[in-house]
Amino acid sequence: TSKYLNNIIEADHGALKRVIRPTRGFQAMKTAAATLAGFEIMRMIRRGHYVQRGRRATGEIRPVNQLFGLAT
């Protein structure tokens, strides 16, 4: 049921809130967005949502560059 699905979502969101709490004093939106994007890519890697396709360094850097909008 959606009741139990909501618990999973809330539990995941609570963990993210604990990580973000110490960084709430940003002055610029650009800095805050970059930091949150970094948190998200690290969570993706930790949970196994990111699978490395190649063994080269560019294969590891590409998803980070895409997330931050950098040229590869």
Enumerate the domain spans of the chain. Answer: 2-68
pLDDT at position 27 is 78
Distance of CA 41 to the CA centre of its chain: 4
Q: Is 26 left (phi over 0), alpha (psi -120 to 50) or beta?
A: beta
Nearest CA-CA partner of 26 in 13, 39, 14: 39
- Per-residue model confidence as pLDDT tens for the chain (72 residues): 566 666 766 666 676 777 777 667 777 888 888 888 888 877 777 777 665 655 554 555 666 677 666 654
pLDDT at position 17 is 74
pLDDT at position 21 is 72
Query: How many helices (H) does the chain have, and how many strands (E)?
Result: 3, 0
Distance of CA 72 to the CA centre of its chain: 19
pLDDT at position 4 is 60
The two tokens of residue 70 are 């950098």
* pTM of the predicted model as reported, rounded to 2 decimal places: 0.45
